Structure 1
Amino acid sequence: MNATERSIAAAEAHGAHNYHPLPVVVATAEGAWMTDVEGRRYLDMLAGYSALNFGHGNRRLLDAAKAQLERVTLTSRAFHHDRYAEFCTELAALCGKDMVLPMNTGAEAIETAVKTARKWGYRVKGVPDGRAKIIVADNNFHGRTTTIVSFSTDPEARADYGPYTPGFEIVPYGDLAALEAAVDENTVAVLLEPIQGEAGVLVPPPGYLSGVRRLTAERNVLFVADEIQSALGRTGSTFACEHEDVVPDVYVLGKALGGGVVPVSAVVADRDVLGVFRPGEHGSTFGGNPLACAVALEVIAILKTGEYQERATRLGEHLHHELGLLVGTGAVEAVRGRGLWAGVDIAPSLGTAREVSERLMERGVLVKDTHGSTIRIAPPLVISKEDLDWGLERLRAVLAG
């Protein structure tokens, strides 16, 4: 066996089979490129599900991490540390909010948002104890904890994990009338992805997000935007909600906030929402640690320049133009997305999206399939137009058979 085969065999023998990765074993990476253990190079067109918006080995982020590694990496929140206040201040300012509650993973941040909404509902809105309801959308993906999969409509994510957590109502994504009908006096929040990533990069109809904002404001309900995958430059703006000039009550952030260096997530809201917490009511050993804060501060500084938002807009227009030319050719049934983010529905005659992903891998391009027939394209925002075109050329070749 070669090095790739040995590594995959060991992983399958000793690692739980909760993922089905492509048969490539990455050893190094830089920018938009990865190199495997055999020395083969691949164009990364997935970017760690948008965790690597600023590319592999981003020098600014690595320098920030290295400098902090030499000082202090963890205190726990039992003590103050000198990066925490600056991180909270800068992230709150980026979001236009008052307060930040830092966590580690996206799922932790969603769990925190759920707890925030319920506590706000009881302490501020006056919902009777145990009656708080949160409305979510079908085809959502907010994480994989027990509570989160309780309101998933994906059988693979949900099956065999019951009994399920109550308190959630599922409505069709993009259907404002259905959402309005579901809101009642016990509704404390509407939790939505501005663009549904795992579902295949589904963009809601124009006016939907602004309609959600209007409805929730009128009915005294929190609008919680899961921007874990869609924020921080991916769609051509800092937040995907900006495309409809919407500011939610609560932002849930993660993935790119840690720059692909460390896991960093956060719930960001105004004081009248996050101010419901008191000491001891919620926490995390690693949440808001010095290393995470140092890296996230550099991410925020990078975003302040607007460079990556502009790149995602400009290159995204090119990406969607080129992908749009494939629709109707018999190879691609539909293309969706915004900025440097696209879902491409593959015609069944060409095989599954997994098979297309494997053929692309053989040609040096890495993407990932979802829901059987869709491949997701989300390269690091540092990708050059030349490299993007190189990847698209290989996609066209694979689709041509």
Structure 2
Amino acid sequence: MSHATISQSISIVHPISLSHGKNAEVWDTTGKRYIDFVGGIGVLNLGHCHPAIVAAICEQATKLTHYAFNAAPHTPYIELMERLTAFIPVSYPVNGMLTNSGAEAAENALKIVRGATGRTAVIAFDGAFHGRTLATLNLNGKVAPYKQKVGALPGTVYHLPYPSADNGVSGAEALKAMDRLFSVEIDVNDVACFIIEPVQGEGGFLALDIQFAQALRRFCDEHGILLIIDEIQSGFGRTGQRFAFPRLGIEPDLLLLGKSIAGGVPLGAVVGRKALMDNLPKGGLGGTYSGNPIACAAALATVEAMTDEHLQAWGSQQETAIVSRYNTWRSQQLSPYLGRLTGVGAMRGIELAHADGTPAPKQLAQLLGLAREAGLLLMPSGKSRHIVRLLAPLTIEPVVLEEGLDILQACLARLDE
């Protein structure tokens, strides 16, 4: 599908045109219905057009559609930050700022850590994805297509292996690589921060090794290095709880938020220790649209709906259904390409691989097409685009979830040799 007025550098996964959606279902302009396991790439944990979010948007639109907070504060921004800081499960007081997106949150976090440490070097991880701006491109642990043809990227960034049971990289291997990095490549005293996802999104829903995470936290504390945890995709209930980092037994210095923060309205945030967030001079943080009143109203409704009880119930339902189906498919030898089940909680991916364990991106591309024809939208991920990430809304009706898994099962069984 080609649109003459839209840049052809934008890659389209599904060549359809959507018209409307409700919870976990969408319809295209021909009237065809699809079950949505993409969720706006992790933006719609509460589904399409959640009634409480729509009501909040409509009500706020009659009061104040916009004001730049740094020109004159408005109540939706203030109320959201109060709710948001209470929603984040850390042991210390936090404050923060709102942004337009997750990438903008990451950019501001880099400014904050530079100001706080006087250092500039950043350590990121293979397979990481933190955005598409120039600085965040350098953080990403993948060249194609994000870093191609854009030349030199800002900042000093090094990458380490991302340790996970889902990719076969052990915590010991990652720690050994880190030791080499500081022995050969860079002085530890030049490093401002590490930035890491507790569960990689674009990387293929890989869950971070717990022992490595705790060792990394200790290392940062010992060397005056800040730890940025990126929960842009894993946060706001995706794993079945508010955020994924408590599973690791650590706390971040700065936390990056976005995607499902506002039920589909563009919004992001960077929050963290007050001393860090306040270290830049007045005017060092801000933005014209950052914390738009309508987006704030949508986020307030989102946080209100995400009680621990709801998240646990939604996450448990989705995790149980996916894991049970996957185990059945494995026992039945449904497809020779059915690889590992990645991720944690309700944030799950299904790997497609050959018998020798090598990625099978050709079969994944076929699976996307077969599923779309059958009425199911899926999203690829992983270094080789060989892992299906399952991003159905947490609020999906059980019968619709089972219908989607039925379609996925039938399509897996049809994959070509």
Structure 1 length as normaliser, TM-score?
0.91
Matches within 5 A, 1:2-401: 8-9=1-2, 11=3, 13-17=4-8, 18-77=10-69, 78-95=71-88, 96=90, 97-122=93-118, 127=119, 132-152=120-140, 153-174=142-163, 175-179=174-178, 181-182=180-181, 184-260=188-264, 262-327=265-330, 329=333, 330-348=336-354, 351-370=362-381, 371-401=384-414
- Between 277-286 and 234-243, the greater mean CA deviation after superposition: 277-286
Partner SS, residue 161 of structure 1: coil
- Partner of 1:306, secondary structure, is helix
Deviation by residue 1:202-241 (Cα, 9 ceiling, x = unmatched): 1122322222222222222111000000001000111111
> What is the rounded CA distance, in whole Å, between the counterparts of 1:193 and 1:59 in structure 2?
31
d(CA) in 2 for partners of 1:240, 1:290 = 28
How far residue 292 of structure 1 moved from its aligned partner, in angstroms, is 1.6
Note if contact 1:251-1:269 (Cα within 8 Å) is conserved in structure 2: yes
- CA offsets 1:63-104 (integer angstroms, 9 cap, x no match): 111110000011112001122221111111111442111101
Contact 1:327–1:334 (Cα < 8 Å) also in 2: no
CA spacing shift, 1:296–1:393, aligned 2, 3 Å: same
SS at match of 1:80: coil
Task: Give secondary structure in 1 for the equivalent of 2:325.
Answer: helix
- Distance, in Å, in 1 between the alignment partners of 2:66 and 2:361 is 50
What stretches of structure 1 of length at least 5 have no aligned partner?
A: 1-7
Name the CA distance, whole Å, in 1 between partners of 2:178 and 2:198.
Answer: 15
Identity fraction in percent: 28
Q: Which runs of 5+ in 2 are unaligned?
A: 164-173, 183-187, 355-359
Counterpart contact for 1:333–1:345, Cα < 8 Å: yes
- Aligned residues, how many? 383
More moved, 382-391 vs 170-179: 170-179
Conserved in 1, the CA contact under 8 Å of 2:241 and 2:308? no
Whether the 8 Å contact between 2:262 and 2:300 is mirrored in structure 1 is no
Amino acid paired to 1:14: T
Q: Tell me, in whole angstroms, the C-alpha distance in 2 between the residues paired with 1:156 and 1:248.
A: 30
Match of 2:167 in 1: none
Q: Deviations over 1:82-132 (max 9, x none)?
A: 22221111111111442111101111111111111111112xxxx4xxxx2
Q: Secondary structure at the match of 1:92?
A: helix
Give CA deviations for 1:323-363 in whole Å, capped at 9, x if unaligned.
23334721302110122222212245794312111100111
| Cα offset, 1:320, TM superposition | 2.0
How far off its partner does 1:380 sit? 0.4
Superposition deviation, residue 268 in structure 1: 0.6
Question: CA separation in 2, counterparts of 1:35 and 1:271?
Answer: 45
Q: Which amino acid aligns with 1:186?
A: D
> How many angstroms apart in 2 are the aligned matches of 1:182 and 1:310?
43
CA contact (8 A) 2:204 2:388 kept: yes
Query: What is the Cα deviation at residue 250 of structure 1?
Result: 0.9
- CA 1:350/1:255 → structure 2, altered by over 3 Å: closer, same or farther? closer
- Specify the code of the residue in structure 2 equivalent to 1:157: Y
Secondary structure of the residue that 2:204 maps to in structure 1? coil
